[in-house]
Amino acid sequence: MREITTEIRTVYYRNPELFKSRDKVSAAIDDLCCMIGCTRSSLHVYASEKGIVFGNISFSVGNQRYNCTTGGIKGTPIPSKTDKIKSMKNKDALFILVVKKETVFQRLVEDGFCRKYRCILITAKGMPDVASRFFLRKMWSEFQLPVFALVDFDPYGLKILSVFRNGSKNMSFDSENLTTPDIKLIGMLHKDIERYQIREDLKLKMTDFDIKTAKSLLKKPYISEEEKEGLRYMLDNGIKCEVEAWYSHGIEFLSKVVLPLKIQSMVVPGQPSA
């Protein structure tokens, strides 16, 4: 029998009147997987590539070998066919840093952060897709490295962190392969607002949706006490803040001052001084 694969968008365009949107296709596939106890990859249904990775690691997909230092600031795309990823090798990385935004990812690559501090950078460009979650979990379990997360100081940033760490309700049947329980939040924290004297004009006003999300997250048992402190700070002060606010101190301030100090405080061995 010939092995045939397809993408979510292909399923949608074959039956647009049935599904109405690609999101509904994805939800239907997740429901089917849950019902019959299988994964998306076992059905040979994949989403388009979204996440990217950069660092001194390599892996194979079929007969092709990927070196994750050759993609420049664009990084190496994380394959959507996660079940085909084989022979993942870590050359010298000491930790993994998950970054919320592609622009911040590119800034860190361009600044030479990975080379100087021997790390692997990964971003899902916002809310993580299945492939990015799988890839992070695979790196964490195979390399046994600490994993840190750099997200905006807002409820959405914490929601992204929780999906990487705890999974999502619609994919709970495959959480073992899609969660990284040891991931630690290193920024942006509520303490960073005062510590780095973030200017008033860089503090953004919380929207009604932000407030609703923050209140919802406060009720979740998987949100840590430090994260809840941050949420309460957002609600009490009515503000949120983006990682890029650190750039007000200099375009390389994040990569050369903030992150080195934070990584060292997490007691990662072998790190050079900031």
The residues annotated with a catalytic role in the active site are: 13
Report which DSSP code applies to 71: S
- With beta carbons less than 8 A apart as the criterion, state whether 274 and 260 touch: yes
- With beta carbons less than 8 A apart as the criterion, state whether 12 and 47 touch: no
Q: What is the DSSP string of 91-132?
A: SS--EEEEES-HHHHHHHHHTTHHHHHTEEEEE-SSSPPHHH
3-class secondary structure for 21-56? Answer: CHHHHHHHHHHHHHHHCCCCHHHCEECCCCCEEECC
149 Rama class: left (phi>0) / alpha (psi -120 to 50) / beta: beta
